[in-house]
Amino acid sequence: MRKILLASALALAVGAPAIGSASVIFNVNQTIGAGGVTGTITTDGTLGALGSTNLLDWSLTLNDGATTFLLTAANSEVAFILGAALSETASQLLFDPANGGIALFQNPTIGSGQNFWCLDNPSGSCDSRPGTESLRINGATQTAAWQGIVVIGADAALPLALAGGSWRLGLAGGYTTDSLKVSQRMSSGTVESVFGAIYGGASFGALQLRAGASYGANSTSTTRQAIFPGFADAMGASYDGSTAQAFGEAGYRIGLPSLLAGLGFGRASLEPFVGAAAIHIHQDGFAESGGAAALIGFGRSYDLATTTVGVRAETAFGTSLPLTLRALVGWRHAYGDVAPTALLAFQGATQPFSVTGVPLDRDALLAELGLDYAVTSAVTLGLSYSGQFGQRAADNALKGRIDVSF
């Protein structure tokens, strides 16, 4: 059997420990005539025969020996994948021309006759050259006849073929710092955290399963002043703590290959999901420096759990820019220690007292909106907004990130 073999590559995210999809990235490095094709193809992890909706993303540099052109999911389309010509195993993406299929990646649209990479069968008609692999840039076509098995990329240990699914495992780590300031009370503080996480996912067709755990070591420093007629004092403290979290999620991805095409968008997907998380937070005890107003804080632990139900949406812009728009709407319910309390005492006093902070809302609406720009096939820049709106409080955040896959 003559076929193209693409070897799967493990993606390792460097950044916040967020759970990603169970997609699989395949490396491409193929010589065609005087040029070739290099880059990556990302699938949804489905095992067996694939269709065009199973290809989530691609970044392919065409080279005809003199000129290059970048095909992406944002500026091109894929079509004519027939029967079982394209299939995926736990570690391989296979194209078998003997099965009568054609795989065509073309800019700007299928049938435009412009820039493309085509995998053809012996009776096909890619640029009137049946039984070849071909590419075209601005009318200059390079072809290569099938020569047995062509190996593209290299095997990686993951994903694993367990229970009929495609599996992915990743590690993440990072450092965060937050500053707090209450000018009216002449108080300020900083919270620094170093965290590590392990996460995994499995794909069973459209069903997506994700889970993971993270642990962070926290360091908190605070300063404050107490001033009123006849009294003035300045206090400060430094203490440590930790945060542990476990989370899981199940989603069902629905491909929308043509619903938004008329609006200028490319591929799109909708994913209803349900998730749960358990969080354990510990703060060590502390003793403030200062005078009569200095406090002693007793060590405390807090346990929280949440469940979330929502839907995600994702679409790529149908332009020459490799941009992806993401959105999320959901509802979150919280359990456990939703009202944070601190047990304190003045230094030298025998009677402690409790201070209660603003309670977390038991129920809250979640909203997220993000935009990703693929600088290269391995580097993505992202900007996102997230909001949580409850009866007592609202939280808003704007985040920037850099993802590196290798």
Is the CA virtual torsion 121, 125, 131, 135 positive or negative? negative
pTM beyond 0.75: no
Which two tokens mark 306? 């949440």
Give every CB contact of residue 185 below 8 A, 6+ residues apart in sequence.
224, 225
3-state helix, strand, coil in the chain (%, to 5): 5, 65, 35
- The residues facing 343 across adjacent strands are 354
Where are any strands of DSSP class E within 284-378? 286-287, 295-297, 300-317, 323-336, 341-346, 353-356, 363-374
Tell me phi and psi for residue 263, to 5 degrees.
-95, 5
- What are the structure tokens assigned to 305, written together? 């759990």
Contact 68, 62 (CB under 8 A): yes
CA distance 247 to 385: 21
pLDDT for res 80: 59
Query: What pLDDT is attached to residue 1?
Result: 36
Residues in Cβ contact with 296 at an 8 Å cutoff, skipping those fewer than 6 apart: 285, 286, 287, 288, 344, 345, 346, 347
Our separate counts of H helices and E strands in the chain read 0, 30
Q: CA 67, CA 375: separation in Å to the nearest integer?
A: 20
Q: Contact at 8 Å (CB) between 57 and 78?
A: no
pLDDT tens string, the chain, 406 residues long: the values are 344 444 333 332 222 222 234 677 777 767 666 667 877 888 887 777 777 778 888 888 887 666 778 888 888 887 655 555 677 766 667 776 655 667 778 887 776 667 888 776 655 556 544 445 666 656 555 555 443 333 333 333 344 555 666 676 777 777 777 777 776 678 888 888 888 888 777 777 778 888 889 898 999 999 999 888 888 899 999 999 999 999 999 999 887 754 455 555 556 778 899 999 999 999 999 999 988 889 999 999 999 999 999 999 888 765 556 788 889 999 999 999 888 888 999 888 878 999 887 788 899 999 999 998 877 766 778 898 988 898 887 888 888 877 665 5
